Amino acid sequence: GEPGLTEVRVATMADKPVRRILAVGSGKGGVGKSTLAANLAVALSRLGRKVGLVDADIYGPSQARLLGTEGQRPVAHESRLVPVASAFGVPVLSMANLLEPGQAIAWRGPMVAGALTKMLEGHWDNAEIVVVDLPPGTGDVQLTMLQKFKPAGAVIVSTPQDLALMDATRAVELFQKSGVPIVGVVENMAGYACPHCGEVSDPFGAGGAEAAARDMGQAFLGRIPLDIAIRRDSDAGKPPAAGEGSQAEAFAALAAKVSD
Ligand code: ADP
């Protein structure tokens, strides 16, 4: 069993195997939500779970870069998208795999919802868990997710600062109101990992997200330090969770909490 993750059947795929959608959300952008979604998916895969990843950040897709699948195109099979394979055991669908590099999207809400539906209705038949990297905030994509593809659980990412935490609280409320269980809160960029000695210091203070999670009655899943190696490897399409060392261990610890 998986406490916090109840089983759901994807409404439009009633004849397909049961799978769980795990939404990764945040109140605001730039807090590391996409980084966490990618690395959580990779870490879950390393734990032996069959994982897929949908990049629901339609206007700012980053999962092709993060999983090193840039330039790969998904094909359609029986008018459903076949996810692109990555080198890390996590197949992915992202608008970044569907657009030309640098191509901008100026879409209205219904088109965005249509793109999200296409990706979520892709060939995920082998995935036990589909991690969904949501756009920040509480807009059209979140509403489509909640109405049409209700997640089995949501992980909320925040940085330690007060303003980020206030926005994270709003994201938690949106899921709660819709009956989506919050698996827990992750604090990202929590402290600074010295590139020379690895020691973590706390320029922004520490414990803010943990206290905020407690105030909301939610689980605190752990913290990921601000670490140059995470930014560097992520930009290079090598998810730190796929490597060795303290970064991989931090993501593995989060995945274990989400998965058990
Ligand atoms: P979001 O999805 O919330 O907009 P991203 O995941 O795109 O945020 O992260 C924003 C930037 O911060 C990226 O350049 C990413 O590599 C970097 N980043 C995210 N988390 C960390 C971290 N723990 N340490 C260092 N850099 C990070």
Does the beta carbon of 233 lie inside 6 Å of ligand 1?
no
Cα separation, 204 vs 249, whole angstroms: 23
Cα separation, 56 vs 93, whole angstroms: 9
Task: Say yes or no to pLDDT of 217 above 50.
Answer: yes
Stronger pLDDT, 42 or 2, i.e. the higher one: 42
Residue 168's CB is within 10 A of a number of other CB atoms, namely 27
- Res 9: pLDDT: 40
CA of 224 to the centre of ligand 1 (A): 11
pLDDT tier at 260, thresholds 50, 70, 90 = low
- Res 14: pLDDT: 40
Largest CA distance in the chain: 53
Cα separation, 155 vs 33, whole angstroms: 9
Q: Considering the chain, what is the average pLDDT of its residues?
A: 88
Task: Say yes or no to pLDDT of 241 above 70.
Answer: yes
- Res 10: pLDDT: 42
Query: What angle (nearest 5°) sits at the alpha carbon of residue 145, between those of residues 213 and 220?
Result: 15
Does the beta carbon of 189 lie inside 6 Å of ligand 1?
yes
Q: What is the ipTM of this complex?
A: 0.99
Cα separation, 196 vs 200, whole angstroms: 11
The minimum-distance atom of ligand 1 relative to the CA of 227 is 24
- Res 3: pLDDT: 41
Q: What confidence tens digit (pLDDT) does each residue in 142-201 have?
A: 888 888 999 999 999 999 887 778 888 999 999 999 999 999 999 999 888 888 888 888
Percent of the chain with pLDDT over 90: 64
CA of 32 to the centre of ligand 1 (A): 4
Fold of 15-259: Rossmann fold (3.40.50)
pLDDT tier at 11, thresholds 50, 70, 90 = very low
Does the beta carbon of 250 lie inside 6 Å of ligand 1?
no
Task: Say yes or no to pLDDT of 5 above 90.
Answer: no
The minimum-distance atom of ligand 1 relative to the CA of 28 is 3
The answer to whether 32 is a known ligand-binding residue is yes
Residue nearest to atom 27 of ligand 1 (CA): 231
The answer to whether 34 is a known ligand-binding residue is yes
- Res 51: pLDDT: 96
Task: Say yes or no to pLDDT of 68 above 90.
Answer: yes
User: Which of 54-58, 142-146, 200-204 is most confident?
Assistant: 54-58
Cα separation, 168 vs 160, whole angstroms: 10
List the domain boundaries for the chain.
Answer: 15-259
pLDDT tier at 238, thresholds 50, 70, 90 = very high
The answer to whether 179 is a known ligand-binding residue is no
Pair 182, 176: CB distance under 8 Å: yes
> Which residues neighbour 245 within 8 Å (Cβ) at sequence distance 6 or greater?
229
Residues 132-145, mean pLDDT to the nearest whole number: 88
Task: Say yes or no to pLDDT of 227 above 90.
Answer: yes
List the single range of 53-67, 119-133, 162-176 with lowest mean pLDDT: 162-176
Does the beta carbon of 151 lie inside 6 Å of ligand 1?
no
